[in-house]
Structure 1
Amino acid sequence: MEKSKVLIVGGTGYLGKRLVNASLGQGHETYVLHRAEIGVDIEKVQMLLSFKARGARLVAGSFSDHGSLVDAVKKVDVVICAISGVHIRSHHILLQLKLVDAIKEAGNIKRFLPSEFGTDPAQMEDAMEPGRVTFDDKMVVRKAIEEAGIPFTYVSANCFAGYFLGGLCQPGHILPSRDSVLLLGDGNQKAIYVDEDDIANYTIKTINDPRTLNKTLYLRPPANILSQREVVQIWEKLIGKELNKSSISKEDFLATMKGLDYAEQVGLTHYYHVCYQGCLTNFKIGDDGEEASVLYPEIKYTTVHEYLKRYV
């Protein structure tokens, strides 16, 4: 397998640290961008040092110093951005657009993977406010990438397992109850759940693959395309007990958003599209996309059943 020099931006974050591990694990020369002045965040420092001990190269750079970004980009062939999806619009867009500018100036990057990793924004033209801001932002970044002629791959990873499966698809829950569950609507809309380490492994697999150049990689592990009811049934079998079930209608769910802060409203809007409208599975992958488990059958992905066993 061809090896690359890979720069990961946001490498100490929730997904970023997994991308660093996957890149190292697949044998790539791995660089991790970090701020020169990191303050007193000892956990972040120790994580960076653990990456270094495994062979990663630490590169100082700042979004407020364009030259440092260009210098960092010039060291590598591939750039992966995993900065978190901050719900402050100008901030998240600004950082990614600065990175796009640096990549454009450097002129040496063979593949750029921007910070996507969720629902495909190209499928969300009719998304509700305020949650649509996330999709609109990603499309602004995509436009900048494509206008700059930067080779890209977009990764649509659907639902992070930790956030969705841990809470049995209930917003605001990350541990599964042994007593009760609230079904969103009838609980029968299909969604797609992917283990975060699998997301990272699929992502790194794609960086040198000509089949994914200038395309979207969709992560749709077949065994993990399930409804909320099916997820709950798997959990019930694991604990040998049936949960008490109630449900919340679409109208009542939307009403709960009123009065919440902006970030919470954005998050709940995403749950609405996934769990009430089935936005992850209501379209077919077109010519501009590929499916990860088809391209990379050698990755033995974690099934929902295997994922939920850790909570028993």
Structure 2
Amino acid sequence: MAKSKVLVVGGTGYVGRRIVKASLAQGHITYVLQRAEIGLDIDKLQMLLSFKQQGARLIEGSFSDHQSLVNAVKQVDVVICTMSGVHFRSHNLLEQLKLVEAIKEAGNIKRFLPSEFGMDPARMGHALEPGRVTFDEKMIVRKAIEDAKIPFTYVSANCFAGYFVGNLSQIASLTPPKEKVCIYGDGNVKVVFMDEDDVATYTIKTIDDPRTLNKTLYLKPPENILSQRQIIDKWEKLKGKELDKFNLSAKDLLASLKGMDYAGQVGVGHFYHIFYEGCLTNFEIGEEGEEASELYPEVQYTRMDAYLKRYL
């Protein structure tokens, strides 16, 4: 079977650039949307040109020009959207509704993967305000996709290691603490950590797979289901140094929300669900989902001790 042609929307972003690379690596004809909104962002333009050098095809389109989106979508079989839903960078998940309209009109798309790549929003209806906005908006997009009868796959990639492992899961830092480390609760709640390149690899694997059609793909490789304490332990062994540890109760974490800006409140709310509630691991995958490492055992996914070595 011929490999699907892919359009990546948001290809210059944190996840998007990896999706483009993985799509090319797996032999797909890969288009990247070049949006007029790029303006004078020289870094994004240079990245797009580098994609072109690697074999990707740039296609112009804008979210303010419906016909341009329809024309772009008609060139491909699969659309993958990786627009940011992270409040401390840019947050524009509902822009995808314009993409849904374009896909609906084009009528040729075999699979649409909207911008998800985190916790499964279908399981987060109880989430704290204001952080639940992320999940609510993703569910609005899902409803539009399903109402339009567009074939889909949702990718639940859990915690990106760049944001949660290199910093030993410390809020407001991306690098490992040197002396003291904050432990959430008892630090033993199981979390799923993923190398971002592996997220992209699994995502592209799924696009032509009938087993994942109209399902959620959960990325939960067994050796990457770890507690915060296990991540800290791996770092201490690599570094040959023990860190001072202090525990933060759920009550104190939630009390810290007061006085934080909006983006901070969203992020801390998500930390609460991940590290105290265990929302990534407190359920069994049902008939609505598949687990990536079971479907694709050939993928040699990165373990977190290997990931941490880059911070030494």
Instruction: Report the Cα distance in structure 2 between the residues aligned to 1:128 and 1:302, rounded to whole angstroms.
Output: 32
Alpha-carbon offset, residue 38 of structure 1: 3.0
Q: How does 1:265-284 map to 2 (within 5 A)?
A: 265-284=265-284
Q: Does 1:294 align with 2:297?
A: no
Letter in 2 for 1:139: M
Are 2:37 and 2:62, in contact at CA under 8 Å, matched by a contact in 1?
no
Q: How does 1:42-121 map to 2 (within 5 A)?
A: 42-87=42-87, 92-121=92-121
Gaps of 5+ in 1: none
Instruction: Report the Cα distance in structure 1 between the residues aligned to 2:2 and 2:298, rounded to whole angstroms.
Output: 16
Letter in 2 for 1:233: D
Are 2:83 and 2:93, in contact at CA under 8 Å, matched by a contact in 1?
no
Equivalent residue number for residue 228 of structure 2: 228
Q: How does 1:1-312 map to 2 (within 5 A)?
A: 2-36=2-36, 38-87=38-87, 92-312=92-312
Instruction: Report the Cα distance in structure 1 between the residues aligned to 2:2 and 2:159, rounded to whole angstroms.
Output: 30
| Alignment deviations for residues 195-250 of structure 1 (CA, whole Å, 9 cap, x no partner) | 00000000000000000000000000111100000100000100111110001111
Gaps of 5+ in 2: none
**Change beyond 3 A, Cα 1:275–1:86:** closer
Structure 1, 121-130 or 277-286: larger mean CA deviation: 121-130
Structure 1, 92-101 or 113-122: larger mean CA deviation: 92-101
| Alignment deviations for residues 259-304 of structure 1 (CA, whole Å, 9 cap, x no partner) | 1111110111001100111000000000010000000011100001
Alpha-carbon offset, residue 126 of structure 1: 1.1
Letter in 2 for 1:237: K
Letter in 2 for 1:54: Q
Are 2:199 and 2:219, in contact at CA under 8 Å, matched by a contact in 1?
yes
Number of residue pairs the alignment of both structures matches: 311
Structure 1, 170-179 or 7-16: larger mean CA deviation: 170-179
Letter in 1 for 2:112: F
Alpha-carbon offset, residue 37 of structure 1: 5.6
Are 1:2 and 1:208, in contact at CA under 8 Å, matched by a contact in 2?
no
Normalised by the size of structure 2, how large is the TM-score?
A: 0.97
- Secondary structure of 1:7's counterpart equals strand
| Alignment deviations for residues 20-59 of structure 1 (CA, whole Å, 9 cap, x no partner) | 0000000000000012363222111111111001110001
Letter in 1 for 2:305: H
The share of aligned pairs that are identical, in percent, is 70
| Alignment deviations for residues 145-197 of structure 1 (CA, whole Å, 9 cap, x no partner) | 00100000000000000000011011112111232200011111110000000
Instruction: Report the Cα distance in structure 2 between the residues aligned to 1:35 and 1:300, rounded to whole angstroms.
Output: 34
- Secondary structure of 2:311's counterpart equals coil
